[in-house]
Copies of this chain bind each other. A is one copy, B any other.
């Protein structure tokens, strides 16, 4: 028996992170990998504690359900490894005789991968390290997009469309929808799909553009007056002209961070108080990254593929890379995979193009040319009869 394989999750889960895990396990098995297949229990915490789950004997039928299992099936954590932690990480790799290490995460995780790869080289340890990309925020560089984004975008687009129809079919209030995204508007931008799928007015605000609250309220009043219902969609992290978030919970958590949230409720309060309109705020929050019924089939398949590709690359001897997705959109969408150096991708954030935001609250077709193919199966055509 050769060396063993370790896979770990880092940071917040996506709707398809377990799909990548399925890709790792199934491709190792089908390649005839004869070592043990370990997963870190709760990510970095499990690696530091030497607390690994042995997946080697888990039935194929269970593994096959991973693509439709929300959150992290092996557990994740938010712990960012510090320099003081790395000796312990290396100890665990040695103790369990790990020869293949896969870390499935975002920027921080790619930084971890890179450091483990460098340390392995320094210590002349035979460990091949491959990063598997994952983030609903879509902010990893050097990849066309990140697994997890397509599903979060589909959730935002379809949920916004459904809310928009509720708002226009019973037009008694302005509905405000808050979506995840503290610094990046990728997911919230997808909610502008509601304007394309329904008859409702839709205004969309992303964190990339500071919001003039007076102008926002004037825009809301004008749009609502058109009488076909109004949906306002906002990223949780949108800021005012002073650069501060429009809302937080006013509470400081145990880590000294102000707890975010309540942006939609804040706007709703303003609409009621200053415009005298009825309004209500909705905040599905974590549901936007956990929902399986809104999962994008394209996203799930690509998440599987990057996990599989990572294993195949490591078995061929590659190390120090992240799997990247390259995409072609014309004449039809297709994607292929490649390896990019971890050192280049770690800690670089991909920004939402400002030119895709029109008049401060509309999203351009260029965004949908980019994002629609990632959102999976075709969107429904609704039967709207009220004219």
| Segment 348-387 of A: residues with Cβ below 8 Å from B | 380-387
A175 interface contact, C-beta 8 A = yes
Structural contact, A39 and B385, CB atoms closer than 8 A: yes
Task: Provide the residues of chain B in CB contact with A77, threshold 8 Å.
Answer: 170, 172
Given known contacts A71-B166, A273-B251, A292-B380, A284 and B286 CB-to-CB distance under 8 angstroms: no
Bound form: Cα–Cα A287–B175 in Å:
11
How many copies of this protein are present in the complex? 2
Residue of B with least CB distance to A61: B383
CB neighbours of A74 from chain B (8 A)? 385-386
The one of B70, B272, B381 that contacts A259, using a Cβ cutoff of 8 Å: B272
A282-326 interface code vs B (CB 8 A; 1 in, 0 out) = 111111011111100000000000000000000000000000000
Q: Which residues of B contact A162 (CB under 8 A)?
A: 70-71, 287, 290-292
Chain A interface secondary structure, helix, strand, loop or mixed? loop
Stretch at the interface among A110-118, A238-246, A261-269: A261-269
For residue A349, give the distance in angstroms from its CB to the closest CB of chain B: 21
What residues on B are CB-neighbors of A13 within 8 Å? Answer: 166, 169-170
Contact between B278 and A282, CB atoms less than 8 A apart: no
Minimal beta-carbon separation of A46 from chain B (angstroms): 9
Residues of B within 8 A of A170 (CB): 12-13, 71-72, 75-78
Q: Which of B71, B159, B249 contacts A291 (CB 8 A)?
A: B159
Query: Is the beta-carbon distance between B281 and A261 smaller than 8 angstroms?
Result: yes
**A332 part of interface (Cβ distance < 8 Å):** no
27 pairs of residues in contact across A and B, judged by CB atoms under 8 Å: A12-B170, A39-B385, A53-B385, A55-B385, A65-B381, A68-B382, A69-B380, A69-B384, A71-B165, A71-B168, A71-B170, A73-B383, A76-B169, A78-B172, A158-B292, A158-B293, A159-B291, A249-B272, A251-B273, A254-B278, A259-B272, A259-B278, A261-B280, A262-B265, A281-B285, A282-B286, A284-B287
